[in-house]
Structure 1
């Protein structure tokens, strides 16, 4: 049984060109879209009357990415804009609105971390997925502010989504062609680091769920201006994955680090 948290039909049917299923087909598994629709092995179904993407369509899309676009692992180095990647790691999830705006939220965020020494990373690596809230398959998250000085990033996320709706699926080499900015590149990078930073602090690793999926790279920020690397991407889909088994540890009397209380708000 698969639980999908996010699915961009614009990427599936637009960018990948998957044809919607219109004939009666049998399907197995579970795909949750608002309202929840249960597709089981005992049922047959036609295309979702609500316009939601079907599980079969998504499987076709993933196969197309694998066969035609050679997706990279999200930890590979020098990821170029528009590159397809696959990811599998523990992620925090949140929904936000522009810092000076008011609810309801309009941006969905997922954030994770890869410690230095893992997956060949010489230093810590952050991972940030961002997209329009309209592609979320779960609607029970309390909204928060995106954070100070993040207006450009907020507008970029929504403008890229609008372009996809109009059939423009190629992300320009310079993101300022999508949303102009008078700020320098470092200031724009700071917006992404700021959002990833407060999500990493507010959702410690034990509070995150293992998630996996596919996405398109927006930024791979890996330079000496920052203490760690950060990859920012726009997801095709995000699904909950089974937690990996962890080895049992013997009880130790070693001094334990006290956990810092969670702030409970997505504010800087």
Structure 2
């Protein structure tokens, strides 16, 4: 079961092609490693061991990587754990609401965000929007000025915030990305790590968002791109199509029967 794009299967495919084209006599390191372990339980290596008989995938088909595997779609269901929805979220916004969320990995595991939050807040200060900025308290304390159009919070359950937003500015992490996509929110993504960039580019290709790469990221550039998301209807239209695509994917309950069928189908193919 995937949590994002199937980069592992794609890397495996690249590796096998490289072996065939550039080193046909070279040993397949993964096959050797997995084969040695398979032998201990009385079976041989097969390529299905690297990616399974089928893969459960919450990524909508229009964003999925084109790979020769069996993908079983599953609608993404956001869950932010036990949380209190603040009273202001129960009141419809009176102006376009924009979410600014840059994830937790940047501050909890690494050296910080790839963009100056203060620079972004300052550049958006004169816009007629409500900017909901989710920042840990430590990062909040480092700000020198909080504009009047900013609602500063340390945490808010994203699945409750997303339906009220007209746009989101984020790092493009899979949870944020799929939660916002599932609500039809146009996204401005500043890719940070892992597969964020590839996922963001595929979203932009669908017309449902824009990408700002690290070297291009600044407060004025964020402002420029956000104004496009809010001012050009095509982004909301494309984001709405993506939402409809995700809503057409089976829920976990609806997937049970298909999992039973696939399990029965492949059970007989496993060596005893």
Asked if these proteins are the same fold (TM beyond 0.5), I'd say: no
Instruction: Identify the structure with bigger relative contact order (alpha carbons < 8 Å, sequence gap 6+).
Output: 1
The normalised TM-score by structure 2 is 0.29
The normalised TM-score by structure 1 is 0.29
